[in-house]
Amino acid sequence: MAGTAVTPTRMVLNQLKGRLKTARRGHKLLKDKRDELMRQFMDVVKENKVLRERVEEGLTGAFASLQVASAIMSPEMLEQALLYPRQSVELDMKFRNIMSVNVPQYSFTTRNNDPSEIYPYGFAQTSGELDDALDKMGRVFEDMLKLAQVEKTMQLLAEEIEKTRRRVNALEYVMIPELEQNIKYITMKLEENENSTKVRLLKVKEMVLQDAHNFK
C-alpha cells in the first residue's frame, strides 16, 4: 500500500518520478554540505583547543603577577593606579560565509600605537609585578578576542550541521522511501489495469469471433 492517498494515473506517476529525482539530488547535495561543514567544524575545534590553552596560560601568568603586585602594594594604591586607563580599544565585527553560514570576524584598534599607553600610572610608586601583569594581559587580549570568534563560529557551525543532518535524515528515511513506495504502488495499479484491459479485450474479441462464427 502507498504511504499516502495517491491517484494511480500516469500523470501522477510522472510527477512523483520527477519529485524523486529532485529529492535524490537534494539529498546528495545536503550530504556533501554536511560533510564539508563537519570538516570545517573539526578544523575550528582544533584551532579552539590551541587558542584556549594559550589564553589560559596567558591569563594564569597575568593573574599570578597581579597577585604578587597585590601583596606588595596596598589595595588603595593598586586601585588608584588602575582607576584611570589611558588606552582605549574599539571593537569591530565583520562576517565571513562558510557554507552559507555567516560567522563573525572580530578585530580591534587601539586609540594609539604607543605600547606605554597600556600603563595608566607612573612607575615611581608601583611594583614591577603590576607592569608585568598588565603587559601579559595586553598580549593575551588578542588571543581572547580570537577565542571568542572561534567559539562563536563553532556554535553556529554546530547549529547548521544539526539542521542539515535533520534535512538529510528526513529525505533519506521519510520522503524518498515514501515517494518510492507511492511510485511502486501506482506502477502496480497501472499494470493491473493494463492486464485487466487486455483480458477484457480478449474476451470481447472471443465473443465477437464466436458471434461471427455462429452467424456464419
Residue found by looking up cell 537534494 in the block: 26
Number of other residues whose CB lies within 10 A of the CB of residue 129: 18
Query: Which of 44-58, 70-84, 140-154 has the weakest average pLDDT?
Result: 70-84
- For the cut 50, the answer to whether the pLDDT of residue 216 exceeds it is no
- For the cut 70, the answer to whether the pLDDT of residue 51 exceeds it is yes
pTM: 0.75
> For residue range 171-183, what is the model confidence (pLDDT) as tens digits?
999 999 999 999 9
Axis-axis angle for helices 176-215, 10-72 (nearest 10) = 180
- Residue 119 contacts residue 10 (beta carbons within 8 Å): no
- Residue 58 contacts residue 143 (beta carbons within 8 Å): yes
Number of other residues whose CB lies within 10 A of the CB of residue 198: 10
Task: Please give the distance of CA 8 from its chain centroid, rounded to a whole number.
Answer: 40
Q: Where are the domains of the chain?
A: 10-215
105: helix, strand or coil: strand
Whole-number pLDDT of residue 110:
75
The domain 10-215 having CATH identifier 1.10.287.3240: the answer here is yes
Whole-number pLDDT of residue 5:
75
Whole-number pLDDT of residue 213:
66
DSSP labels, 130-197 = HHHHHHHHHHHHHHHHHHHHHHHHHHHHHHHHHHHHHHHHHIIIIIHHHHHHHHHHHHHHHHHHHHHH
- For the cut 80, the answer to whether the pLDDT of residue 122 exceeds it is no
Q: What is the C-alpha to C-alpha distance for residues 97 and 16, in angstroms, rounded to an integer? A: 35
> For residue range 1-42, what is the model confidence (pLDDT) as tens digits?
455 578 889 999 999 999 999 999 999 999 999 999 999 999
